[in-house]
Structure 1
């Protein structure tokens, strides 16, 4: 155990995944409370073609370049969803399904094209961005995650009061001069940024779990917004550390899926035993029934 905790590879991967999970847990809480978590899912899938296109245009697998490509396609996907819902009769659920499947299908098609094309060399590793491959994270990847997460949390802290008002009372926030559109775009921009830099760690398919699962755990244990944020951040960080340790100790366990499995365990335990969990609610109903 000590050998694993002190190994250079484990420390690099654990630092990157923990920072990413803590920031994602906090920022994802806003999206979950606002009912926009599925937008993050669609955007996460839509970033994959951006990675492949960035590789095709730049001819490099540098994480920053691929993250910029993912960020650009994520923004395009979001505005595509907005255009579809505002200028057609298609509902938000339908638009999300269309964008998710179309963009991810485009990414898979581009991936097949570059892998079978002799004009593109060094395609090894691009497919890892589908499910993530944190074991190959470098120090530069951790710096990128640290910079993106730090900037995201700084923006969140600076606009904390405005965001809290916007989340729970958008009518009042508009009446006191807060731009709801600006708040919405800011949260979505931060979310897309975290998705883009986290693809190498957990992949396009699993990244949304880092945004949703910690927030769900936090809401099951508390009704106070600040406490929910703390619980979400702690849940994400602990899950990332434990998942990284499990994947390092086990030879055939990928880091991203291991983290998601630990997160899922937290959600399951919380659904059963949290203050608003199923067991607690059934016990309270039984006590009320006995009193009546």
Structure 2
């Protein structure tokens, strides 16, 4: 039975789509994690749901591109709202993230409740909007793969174009300024990469879990290497293995959601890496004993 699933067309459509998204997200997420803004992606992911609902209310269509653009705009607004709060008040980053995350996500839920059964929005079907909260990876279609691949390609191309600048700005911002780099522009490049992957991943993994694709693979990879290039490669491998395994498990076991299953597999690999990795708990204890 398992071989019938592995060699089925539907399985490979879902597996390819999720793997492409997870690989691109893992690589871009490394820059976010090393910049110390890993939870910013979580805030943007939750906030972007409000953009999905607003886009539907304005255009009364569930066209994926329209909803993705709406999510992207609100995601960008939420990011800049966080910066305004921490730059113009004594509120710390973690508090600002909590305020923006809960505020925008709550707005999305309120608007979603408002349009349910509202006659003003009866011209377009509202069914499926809440799927953007938890995602529906198991229902990926061929068109979705093209959509995911396009946005992932944009993010990867930007990463390759600004790779050197991203590395310098993340690890030594003062040195980057001395070289004449615009750190604000590089921050915006990273923001565009993050938002593009977060928004395109909403339909697949959902607003709640998409940030895990950005954060967890990098944490796991960091337990095996301190070289940024190696971490990028390892994080993409961990992400792809987790995605393929998660899709396979959810396809063979009844009532197993694909997105959450992928995240569970990622977490298991991360825990194993934290224990047995080159820079994991066991390795550190051996070093301490030798000292």
Measured against the shorter chain, the TM-score band is over 0.9
* Counterpart in the other structure of 2:285: 282
Alpha-carbon displacement from aligned partner over 1:30-70 (angstroms, at most 9, x marks no partner): 00001011111111100001111111122222211111111
Separation in structure 2 between the aligned mates of residue 236 and residue 228 of structure 1, nearest angstrom: 12
Mapped contact 1:43–1:78 kept (Cα < 8 A): yes
After TM superposition, give the deviation of residue 283 of structure 1 in Å.
Answer: 2.4
Alpha-carbon displacement from aligned partner over 1:159-218 (angstroms, at most 9, x marks no partner): 112222222221111111111111111101110110000011110000000000011011
Question: Where do residues 225-236 of structure 1 align in structure 2 (5 Å cutoff)?
Answer: 225-236=228-239
Mapped contact 1:201–1:255 kept (Cα < 8 A): no
Residue of structure 2 aligned with 1:152, choices 136, 151, 155: 155
Separation in structure 2 between the aligned mates of residue 59 and residue 250 of structure 1, nearest angstrom: 36
* Counterpart in the other structure of 1:96: 97
What are structure 1's unaligned runs of at least 5 residues? none
Residue of structure 2 aligned with 1:166, choices 169, 173, 190: 169
* Counterpart in the other structure of 1:218: 221
Residue of structure 1 aligned with 2:207, choices 204, 219, 232: 204
Does residue 268 (structure 1) correspond to residue 271 (structure 2)? The answer is yes
Which stretches of structure 1, 4 residues or more, deviate above 4 A after TM superposition?
Answer: none
After TM superposition, give the deviation of residue 229 of structure 1 in Å.
Answer: 0.5
Separation in structure 2 between the aligned mates of residue 51 and residue 157 of structure 1, nearest angstrom: 29
Alpha-carbon displacement from aligned partner over 1:52-95 (angstroms, at most 9, x marks no partner): 11111222222111111110110110111111112222221111
Question: Where do residues 45-84 of structure 1 align in structure 2 (5 Å cutoff)?
Answer: 45-84=46-85
Kindly report the root-mean-square deviation, in angstroms, between the aligned alpha carbons of the 2 structures. 1.2
* Counterpart in the other structure of 1:195: 198
Residue aligned with 1:205, SS: coil
* Counterpart in the other structure of 1:85: 86
After TM superposition, give the deviation of residue 226 of structure 1 in Å.
Answer: 0.3
After TM superposition, give the deviation of residue 118 of structure 1 in Å.
Answer: 3.8
After TM superposition, give the deviation of residue 24 of structure 1 in Å.
Answer: 0.5
Separation in structure 1 between the aligned mates of residue 265 and residue 286 of structure 2, nearest angstrom: 27
Separation in structure 2 between the aligned mates of residue 4 and residue 26 of structure 1, nearest angstrom: 29
After TM superposition, give the deviation of residue 284 of structure 1 in Å.
Answer: 2.4
Separation in structure 2 between the aligned mates of residue 226 and residue 242 of structure 1, nearest angstrom: 24
Separation in structure 1 between the aligned mates of residue 252 and residue 68 of structure 2, nearest angstrom: 29
What TM-score, normalized by structure 1, do the two folds share? 0.95
